Structure 1
Amino acid sequence: MSASPSSSAQAAREALAVRLTHLRKDAGLTGKELSARCGWHPAKTTRIQKGDAPPSDADIRAWCAACGADDQADDLIATARAVDSMYLEWRRLHKDGMRKVQQNWNTLHERTRVCRVYVSNVPPGFFQTPAFATALMGQITTFQGTPNDVSEAVAARVARSRFLYEGGHRYVVLMEESVLRFRTADPEAMRGQLRHLLAVMPLASVSLGIIPFTAQRTVWPLEAFYVHDDTMAVVETLTAEIKVTQPRELADYARAFAGLAEMAVYGDEARALIRAAIDALG
């Protein structure tokens, strides 16, 4: 029987412990020798190596210094910080409704200078109209069986669009053409949503590229992800929000985004695809 996805954080903690253990062994140190160099009791080393005790930033720096591996400290620290928040189930996040999560997203976007977004399912929240957001969030609430505070959640989500106009924020968005065609809301709401995309395209804060159905793929379609200032990527799956902060993984998301961007069309070509989707609604 496979492990539940909710065990992901513990698996990551154990993986971090393994990496630290390998550092010690590669340095030719016993647990007691490493503990002595770090200035703590050997029992602490044992707890860290078993994944029973999360190491602090200072612990990791001391461990790496003791092993002559200072160059690995930053990557290991980023991994450690991500462990407890890396995998959050939507049902847990939405246990009291969706409004609070939407407000938290707004706080993150307020701090973000450059947000690079790839979507293959629905337009990103900061592009959504009230009618579209209401339809989508109603579907999500029904599917998850969480408290219905859709009207308040929609208001919080739509408020995020202010960052498109305030200055100091840049949104680079890549959207699969399928996003334009999925009937996520009724035809009238879909029509309004697509027209809204045309309306925001000229904004100085926005770059919108559409990846056509006909594009020759160099990167396969992926789940939606948001890269905030190259310091965190948020990946959205059916059941959970996954936060990625490890530099190696962030580099992979940046590379994937660059490949997807090369397949996209922009400007008049992108507008033509949006207008075609509007026409298809009848």
Structure 2
Amino acid sequence: MSTDFQQARIALGLRLRELRTEGGLTGRQLAGALGWTQSKVSKLETGRQTATHDDLRAWAEAVERPEVASELSARLRAFETQSRSWRRQLAAGHRPVQDRLTVECERTSVTRVWEGALVPGLLQTADYARHIFEAYVGLHRSPRDVEDAVRARIRRQELLYRPGKRFHVLVWEAALRAQVCPPEVMAAQLDRLTGVMGISTLTLGVVPFESPLALPPANGFWVHDERLVIAEDWHAELWLDDADSIALYLRVWESLHRAAVHRPAAQQVIARCRRALDRP
């Protein structure tokens, strides 16, 4: 969990404790009034658990300060927009997450992408996407809506053919070799990458293993125009819209871009990855 996120959660917890003590209630009394366990009250006050908006409204009512509910919700929204846990995002399955990403892509004129471990969703085949979603369903123990998620991801790829859009995608060679699916699925995926290079809205760069790197090829991220960065980690997505963070990710992207090759050199890297699949 990011330090900024955790500090914001602790600050919210301190505010909740302040409201409880000002209301003359012990933690046990508040828990009883709300029908909660005392441990939930303690975890919320110490920043070890993230409150929901319903939790905050109930807290404000229980301490007889209903007017502060909007303040508490505003505090929560401020750090929710930065760190969106997969546990919460995937509570209703993977399809809603894909739909939210589509909305951001539709709003964006210029999209910059870096992926070091996987082929970006924007360029995935349905079979490749299916294997990725299956893996994450198992990891996060989320609802199994794999086919709906695959269809939503593939529909988003229609944006590649929309005039006025620009997609600048960078992929590390490791993503083209990672055995996250059967060899025949990976072969079709690599063929797809070669095929999309002719799309006028898309610039696809590959960072070969032998390319000198100024920075480590760390986690994947998307930069939407210069207004939003979405970066992935195992536990959460970061949605960053402050100028300093966006500028930082743009510098990272430019550094990786300098290490990338484009066609025909990119096609040669893809071809050697494709040939490697045929080796015993």
- For residue 92 of structure 2, give the secondary structure of its aligned residue in structure 1: coil
Amino acid at match of 1:253: Y
Deviation sequence 1:210-229 (CA, Å, 0-9, x none): 11111111121110000001
Give the 3 Å change call, closer, same or farther, for CA 55–141 of structure 1 in structure 2.
closer
The answer to whether structure 1 residue 171 and structure 2 residue 167 are counterparts is: yes
Query: How many Å apart are 1:9 and its aligned residue?
Result: 3.1
Aligned residues: 221
Residues of 2 paired with 1:153 and 1:84: CA distance? Answer: 23
Deviation track 1:153-194 (CA, whole Å, cap 9, x = no partner) reads 100011111000121211101110100100111111101111
Q: Give the equivalent residue in structure 1 for 2:122.
A: 126
CA contact (8 A) 2:83 2:237 kept: yes
> Aligned residue for 2:215?
219
User: In 1, Cα distance between the equivalents of 2:167 and 2:151?
Assistant: 20
Is 1:188 aligned to residue 188 of structure 2?
Answer: no
1:237 and 2:233 correspond: yes
CA distances 1:95-137 after superposition (whole Å, capped 9, x unpaired): 1111111111111111111100000111111101000000110
- Write the letter of the residue equivalent to 1:180: L
Residues 82 and 245, structure 1, Cα contact 8 Å, conserved in 2: no
| 1:84 Cα deviation after fit | 2.7
Query: Alignment partner for residue 5 of structure 2, among 1, 6, 9?
Result: 9
2:253 aligns with: 257
In 1, Cα distance between equivalents of 2:96 and 2:155:
13
Unaligned runs of 5+ in 1: 16-51, 57-78
The change in CA–CA distance for 1:6 and 1:249 in structure 2 (over 3 A counts) is: closer
Contact 2:81 2:240 in 1 (8 A): no
Q: Counterpart in 2 of 1:21?
A: none
Matching residue of 2:143: 147
Shift in Å, 1:14: 7.4
Instruction: Give the TM-score of the pair, scaled to structure 2.
Output: 0.74
Aligned to 2:79: 83
SS in 2 for 1:267: coil
State the identity %. Answer: 33
RMSD, matched Cα: 2.4
SS of 1:223's partner is: coil
Asked if 1:135 is matched to 2:154, the reply is no
Q: Which residue of 2 aligns with 1:267?
A: 263
**Whole-Å separation in 2 of the counterparts to 1:218 and 1:95:** 38
Amino acid across the alignment from 2:141: G
Which of the residues 87, 93, 98 maps onto 2:94? 98
* Aligned position for 1:116: 112
- Shift, 1:55, TM fit: 11
Q: Which amino acid aligns with 2:83?
A: Y
Equivalent runs, 1:194-205 vs 2, <5 Å: 194-205=190-201
| 2:253 counterpart letter in structure 1 | F
Change (3 A) 1:275 1:151: same
SS in 1 for 2:157: helix
TM-score (norm 1): 0.73
Partner residue in 2 for 1:228:
224
Per-residue CA distance 1:12-61 (angstroms, 9 max, x = gap): 4779xxxxxxxxxxxxxxxxxxxxxxxxxxxxxxxxxxxx95798xxxxx
Give unpaired runs (5+ residues) of structure 2.
Answer: 12-69
Taking a change above 3 Å as real, the CA distance of residues 6 and 211 of structure 1, as seen in their structure-2 partners, is: closer
**Matches of 1:140 and 1:259 in 2, distance apart?**
29
The equivalent of 2:31 in structure 1 is: none
Asked whether the 8 Å contact 1:132–1:190 carries over to 2, the reply is yes
SS in 1 for 2:93: coil
SS at match of 1:273: helix
Aligned with 1:214: secondary structure?
A: coil
Are residues 1:208 and 2:208 paired? no
Change (3 A) 1:6 1:263: closer
